Structure formats: structure tokens, C-alpha cells
Structure 1
């Protein structure tokens, strides 16, 4: 579909709460926003927002999500691949289904959503992934999660190279430890993260949202294939 002069449209996956919801709220100032959710029903959607229930482990969901966005808004300008799964992977055990889900949601879903959306993306469109510092700083006991985010980083650079001639930018944001009120850490773990962070404070979901908004904006028009770390200086 040819893009109109109407308000731009963003899709944020996994945005019922936490970082995803902060990203959606921040983008809603400039975009109509569609969000996906699976187990948590989003509350109090603002005008111009829509929610799509979807399990991103299911490859049939990608086309359905994009079709719903286009049916509602008629265009798509920004994809934020925020949905993610963290599954432990201790070296002395193997849970195939849990580890498969890591890669299905963290790597395959971004590619599947992009493939479904590509016919609707014009010059100036953006794709932004939510990676992790664990892509380069291996997490003990969750190596496969880190590996999935490392794969997402490589995919980000590869897609930037492939889609650059189409005028589509592809970047990622890599959070460190983030203070998410809906999923608080215990005091000892929080302090351990603080001790490893140069600024001595955890990022907030709004900090990640600000980075996404920047990468989506014209101020970042010459930036593609990059992973922007937002960690407060974690493990410098």
C-alpha cells in the first residue's frame, strides 16, 4: 500500500508492560501505535493505540500481526522488536523447549515480522530491536539467552546492510539492568548490579524508550547497523 500523509504508525512487540509499554507510550506522541501482548492484557490504551494478542513463538502470527496493523492504520513506519524471552541454560541440564523459545522469540520473530511487513515499509522506515548487554557480557547460567541476543545484534547489522539501499534503517538498543516496577529484583541482586554500574544507578524503562525514540527520529537519519548500549556503564 502506498503510504499516505497521515500520522506515522509504529508496531511495538511485547508492550503490555515494562520496557515495551514505556516505548509505546513515548512513541505515541508522534505515532499511532500498535502493540502485541501474550500473557498480560494491556491496560488503559490511549487514543491511537491498538493491542494485538499474539504468541511470537508461532510463525503464523507474523502475517496476522502485520495484516491487523495495516487494516487499522493503512501504513507502517516503525517496528520495535521488544518482545523477548529469558530462559536459564545451566550447563548441566538441557531444556529444549525453553531454549528453543529463546531463539524463536528473540531472533526468529524479528525476522518473521520484518518479512511480513516489508511490502508495507517505504523509504525512511525504521526497525529497532531490543538487545541486551548480555550479547557481549555472557550471563552465568543463561548463556543461550546471551547467544540469542548476540544473534540479534548480528541480524541487526545484516539487515541494515540489506535494507540500506531501500532507505530503511535498522538498529538496536542494548539495555543493562533496568528497574522495572512490575518485576522488582530483591535488594541484594539490585545492589550487586549497582556495584557493577559506573553511574551507580539502574536505568528506567523511560531511558530505553528515549533511546528508541532517538534512533527512530530524523536526528539519527545517518545511523544504521548500530547497537546503542544504555546501561549506566555496566561492567566497564
Structure 2
């Protein structure tokens, strides 16, 4: 039986809720769906070795779970204060019968990224799939005057520097047939004024993805991105002033659940996408993008 996508998951209004950054899954109402009870694998990523940044919750957890159920071993990063969420992601990957390595790591420093890649190579011997998903945002309704240099630096270092370093350092360990997948955003094309610095970095991720794809095509390494619209993750109550109507602006009338993003990351990492590179897969709930 087909499902109405406008009614498949909870719709706003949601309870007004706030959290300290970085946010945690447990207090969220409604609870996010990562595919725990719905995602069924079919061996698309058999014996692949994947690295997923920001895998403790949200899209990252959904991707780690889906990759494991598709047959991949997963190393994921999390911030030290997110250990409880990270433990839950680890349990989901291991329940799928795959190896899981959870690494506390702040990708804002070059040395942390170097150590992360070294750990992945020590654990797995290679990196077949690199998912640059970790991100930072902080809503500033008062605009650019309210964006401090400290905030701007954190947004750029998390969203761009970390991605740059991890791609550069991982490349010697990504074989032909490997894949890099970056998390862009609808914000890259339709920036919200209160997320000016975040939106700027997401636009840069689109450009970086398309340039890297052309650079690596001859090596047999594909580079793509997913551009989600509003997704119900801990980052929302931790960084947005109002969660009551979050996602209502999407034509489908609701935010996505993380489980709805994971299939895009699976497809782009799989052999089924063997002729797809330099593409941005838009998953916006109906918002038209270029």
C-alpha cells in the first residue's frame, strides 16, 4: 500500500523545545526516526569501509545504520559530550552484524582530522566511502551584526576546513570505485537570513563537490553531495529559537526524518550510482532548486 508523503511522519506544530548545543536525541519530541524499524538492507555496500562524520545522531546516525544494514563496516565521529547518542549508534551498527568504531573528534583542527584518518586506516586498511556530514550552525535572527567572529570561525572550520582536510588526507586511502559524499543543504540555494554564515558554507560545499568530482573522475573516485531540506535532528532544538513550526515551509508540509535522507547516501555510495559524479541530490520535500 502506498503512503501519503505528507502524512508519513509527524507534522508541525511541535512542542516548543530548546536544548544546549550540540543537542541530544533523547529529549526530542517527537523522537527522530533513523530507520531503526524500517530500513532494510540488500547488500548494496557489502564489505565496504565507511567513515561518517557526525554519526552520533540525526542524518549521520541514519546513514551509519543504513550503511551497516547494507553490509558496510562504519567508523563515525562524535563530540565528547555526545557520547550517549554515540553509544546508541554503535549499538545499531553492531546489531546489524557489522564492525563499528566510534571516535570522539572535533574536526575543526587539522591534527584531529589527521588522527581520524589514521585511525580509520588502522582499523579498516582503506576508506571506501567518506561521508562529510558533521556541521555547525547557530541561528542569529538579528542578522550579520549578531554573528560573532567566534561563531563565524566555528561554522567555517566545522563545515569547510574539516571537509577539506578529511578529503585531502583520505584520498591516498580511497581506492578506485570509492566515493566521497558531502552534506550540502537547501540553504546553499535558498539562504535564510538568520543562517547567513551556515548557508554560505553550504554553497561552498556544492562548489567544492563539483570541483573535486572533476579532479578525481580519472582516478575512478566519485564525489557527490546530498542537499537536504529541513530535517528533524538534535541540531534544530539546539540552534533554532523556535521549533513549533519547523519544516512547515516545505511543500510537503513537514520536516524530513533522518531515515528519509539515508537512502540518498546509500545510493550515491553504491555501484548503482557508478556513472553519477559531481551531482547534488536534492532532498528538500518539494522546494525547487537549480
The normalised TM-score by structure 1 is 0.90
Q: Within 5 Å, which residues of 2 pair with 1:160-179? A: 160-179=213-232
Q: Does the 8 Å CA contact 1:87/1:99 hold for their aligned counterparts?
A: no
User: What corresponds to 2:59 in structure 1?
Assistant: 19
- Residue 231 to residue 94, structure 1, CA distance change in 2 (3 Å): closer
- For residues 134-153 of structure 1, the aligned pairs below 5 Å read 134-153=187-206
Question: 1:211 aligned to 264, 275, 278, which one?
Answer: 264
Which sections of structure 2, spanning at least 5 residues, go unmatched? 1-45
Asked if the contact 2:57–2:233 (Cα under 8 Å) also holds between the matched residues in 1, the reply is no
- Find the residue that maps to 1:202 and give its secondary structure: coil
Query: Aligned residue for 1:31?
Result: 72
Partner of 2:245: 189
Using the TM superposition, give the Cα deviation of residue 178 of structure 1 relative to its aligned residue in structure 2, in angstroms: 1.0
- 1:155 aligns to 2:208 (yes or no): yes
- What's the CA shift for 1:197? 1.9
Q: Which residue of 2 aligns with 1:49?
A: 100
The whole-number CA distance in structure 1 between the counterparts of 2:147 and 2:157 is 17
**Number of equivalences:** 228
Residue 231 (structure 1) aligns with? 284
Shift of 1:224: 0.6
Match among 103, 117, 131 for residue 184 of structure 2: 131
1:46-85 to 2 correspondence within 5 Å? 46=94, 47-85=98-136
- The match for 2:138 is 87
8 Å CA contact retained: 1:8, 1:75:
no
What residue ranges of structure 1 are gaps of 5+ in the alignment? 1-5
Contact 2:236 2:243 in 1 (8 A): no
- What is the CA distance between 1:164 and its match in structure 2? 0.5
CA RMSD of aligned residues (A): 1.9
